Amino acid sequence: MDYKVKAAEKCSATYAAIPEEWRLSPECLSLLQQPVEKCRNNLFEPDFIQSSGILSPKEREITENYEVSRLLGALAGGTLSAVEVTVAFSKRAAIAQQLILFDQALERARDLDALRSSGNLAGPLHGLPISIKDSFQVKGTQATIGLVSYLDRVSDVNSVLVDVLLQLGAVLYLKTNVPQTMMTADSHNNIFGRVLNPWNTMLTAGGSSGGEGALVGFRGSPLGVGTDVGGSIRIPSLCCGTYGFKPTAGRIPYGQQVGCSDPGLRMILAAAGPIANDIDALEIFVKAVVNARPALLDHTAIDVPWKEMKLATDHKLRLGLLAEDPLYPLHPPVQAALDKAVNILREHGHKIIEITPVEGHVADSAEVAWNLWGLDATADEIVKAGGEPAVPSRLSLARDAAATNWSFVPDLSQLPALKKLSFLNIKRSEIAANWNRTWRVHNLDAVIGPPAQHTAVEHDNYGIPAYTVLLNLLDYPACVLPFSHASSSTTPRSFEKKPGQAGPPYHPSVVEGAPCSIQIFTRKMCDEQCLAVAAIIDKALNL
């Protein structure tokens, strides 16, 4: 069957799962400039949700004004039922048209409400609707990850994290869209199409957990779960103005994920982690999952209990400041947000120590990572087997990499594969050893810096995610905090890349109002410290 026919059938089946009364009317859709992905549409202005007429006032209150901790308290106390919370977020998610599990979710919510009425709770996440990336398996459903070759597959097992979340009392109510192969920062595939940024539909929502970033940013989910091997939690977070946390690999179970890489060539370990609209939700999620001891179910998970780390709000931090890498210059809004954040933190008494580009190894890490990924051709073979073309962002990413003036890794084209792998692992170890020295010499609590060169940019233009992949190569935990918005009135309108520099162009009128973010990271296995430091920084930046 032609790939377009198979994709259309799957897309139609997904849309058919949305109840008729939850579908957008032609009048509501007419409020959007068309074509949507090429026009500047902010789905919060005009009030798109209210115009839809789909959510009641109480459902809007639930989806817009509850942080996760307050939502869990209301569910545990019975002031909100699991059914009404699940319906509210399901309706809002239906507006966003994701990959839907509504029927199963409502049945689950009814069971949880019956349990609570008998005086019991299922667990610390009782009744909380949680959305998950399409790479997670749910028994009896599909996890296509945007690949036509996977359209005939139906999962016969749950991913380990799915079982853990159900054990903790969560309601899993939908799965979200990803890019073809999950190896590009623009969530677009030939089955479900392109994820749009709710702040500006001309801009990418990021990837590969782009469906999660857009849905949480749109408040169609109180908490979403993504995965991250090069920035795939943090990139959608910075694009859509949400909080995102990439743990050390293995702290959150990754077993039974659907992927399209050679399982024997996973040199850079992926991590699963949360995306949310408040920072406390990140710790609530990670702590609950870690304390469930997922290593008993997943041999790849690390069996280390959660370490309580409550730093006083007046605790003074020693923070490294990751400098701009000369090969990846920062767009003016990103530099302005970082400068503003640093000034605020200094005013609060925190010590800022600059980490030089040589110490930072941002471009070097991107080069090593790109070469490691290049050893595995499995994804290309799967796309080809499905008879479908590569999506534009994968092609543009390859062009960007080929044109980048990297200098850390010599030409390896004449070496056999194992020699290439050996050399790249040695270079990776060199970067890790140098960072180990940096932590020790500067006696740092954490490091702050940009999560990317830029804010969300036009579709298919994201480029190499150098500032996030650094932390995947090192396997460091990292948190992204939303802070400020792009404004051409307070930043230079001109930006020019010098010869040899990489990255997308800067179009101030297009990215006007786009969310900006700050990235915080700590050493490997210091996940608790990363979140504790991030909470202090977030509070300082939002006073």
| Catalytic positions, written as ranges | 133, 208, 232
230 is in an annotated binding site: yes
208 is in an annotated binding site: yes
The contacts of residue 297 (CB under 8 Å, 6+ apart) are: 160, 163, 164, 253, 255
Nearest residue to 449 (alpha-carbon basis) of 542, 362, 536, 524: 362
Report which residue type is found at 35.
Answer: P
232 is in an annotated binding site: yes
Report which residue type is found at 341.
Answer: A
SS3 462: coil
Q: Which residue's entry shows tokens 């007429």? A: 53
140 is in an annotated binding site: no
Distance CA 162, CA 138 (A): 7
For residues 271, 276, 281 and 283, what is the CA-based torsion angle, rounded to 10 degrees? Answer: 20
Distance CA 217, CA 138 (A): 24
Exposed/middle/buried for residue 501 (C-beta within 10 Å: 0-12, 13-18, 19+): middle
Distance CA 107, CA 376 (A): 42
Report which residue type is found at 370.
Answer: W
The contacts of residue 38 (CB under 8 Å, 6+ apart) are: 202
Within 142-273, residue ranges assigned H as helices are 160-167, 210-217, 234-240
182 is in an annotated binding site: yes
The enclosing H or E element of 477 equals: none
Binding site for substrate: what residues are annotated?
A: 182, 208, 229-232
